[in-house]
Amino acid sequence: MRTKTDIITEVLVRNNRTTTDGFITDTTLTNWYNESNKWASAYKKWPFTEGRVSTTYTTTETWNFEGYKADSIRFLTIGDKLYQKINFKDYKQMLDETPSSTDRVYSDYGRTIYINTASGGSGTLTIYGQYQPVIDTTDESGLAIFTDWDDEGNEAIVEKMSGYLKRREHIPDEAELHDQRAVVKLNEIWDKIGGEQANYQLRNGDGMFTRFDVLNGGFSDGINSDQFS
């Protein structure tokens, strides 16, 4: 199952239904298909909904990137410089208390990103975050959200659509069963993704055990065992 047509056909076959049934129309099936894809894409922060967008940076504080979810921007760079994401309250406090601060920081509020314009950034502004996939329901051969990424996830789309169908038939118990199956399938995929992500490692020197020099201040990569002798 890869396309809209594949998935809708599978839903009808499994439930022994056709579009000649009075309560199932092509429009209804398309709506269920659209809603099921949106539900599944929002269920987890899937790797295939990670994206980036770039634009020329100007010294403007507020930026909006349509299609990206609120609070989902994880990294922001201007030129070759990485900016630190800080709490919005702290960001506003910084501007109030030290308006000339050149710290490379940014924050967000809702869907608006705020960048410290005094940081001296120049070049290309790039954000990395989580976007909301848009399904073209007019394209019968259009791909479902999991196609070419985790194809087995399209099974969850079929189950969710079957749940909508059972509710239309006033069979809530069966509808709930299909919903549960859809959730189980998505959780199975998420567990596999988590297993792969466990292989990521921190860069050498990163982590919570950075050593701080209490006497002289600052951080140190090594320990001098004879410093008190």
Burial 16-26 (b: 16+ CB within 10 A, else e): ebeeeeeebee
pLDDT tops 60 at residue 215? no
Q: Is the pLDDT of residue 28 over 80?
A: yes
User: Which residues, 6+ apart, have CB-to-CB distance to 219 below 8 Å?
Assistant: 210, 211, 212, 213
Strand order in the sheet with 62-64: 50-56, 124-130, 75-78, 81-85, 105-109, 112-115, 62-64
For 77, phi then psi, to 5°, come to -125, 150
Tell me if residue 218 falls in helix, strand or coil: coil
Put simply, whether the predicted model's pTM sits higher than 0.85 gets the answer: no
- 165: tokens are 């169908």
Strand partners, 130: 50
* Cβ atoms < 10 Å from Cβ of 79: 13
Residue 13 is encoded by which pair of tokens? 């076959």
Bridge-based pairing of strands 124-130 and 50-56 is antiparallel
- Spatial separation of the C-alpha atoms in residues 66 and 89, rounded to whole Å: 23
**Is the model's pLDDT at 228 over the cut of 80?**
no
- For the stretch 59-104, pLDDT in tens is 999 999 988 988 899 999 999 999 999 999 999 999 999 999 999 9
Residue 208 confidence class, pLDDT cut points 50, 70, 90? low
Band (pLDDT 50/70/90 cuts) for residue 158 is very high
Alpha-carbon gap, residue 200 to 126, rounded angstroms: 23
Instruction: Give percent of the chain with pLDDT exceeding 90.
Output: 74
Largest CA distance in the chain: 90
Residue 45 is given by DSSP the state -
Structure tokens at 143: 């791909």
CA–CA dist 74, 89 (Å, integer): 18
Residue 22: pLDDT band with limits 50, 70, 90: confident
Lookup result for tokens 């073209």: 136
pLDDT bin (cut points 50, 70, 90) of residue 206 is low
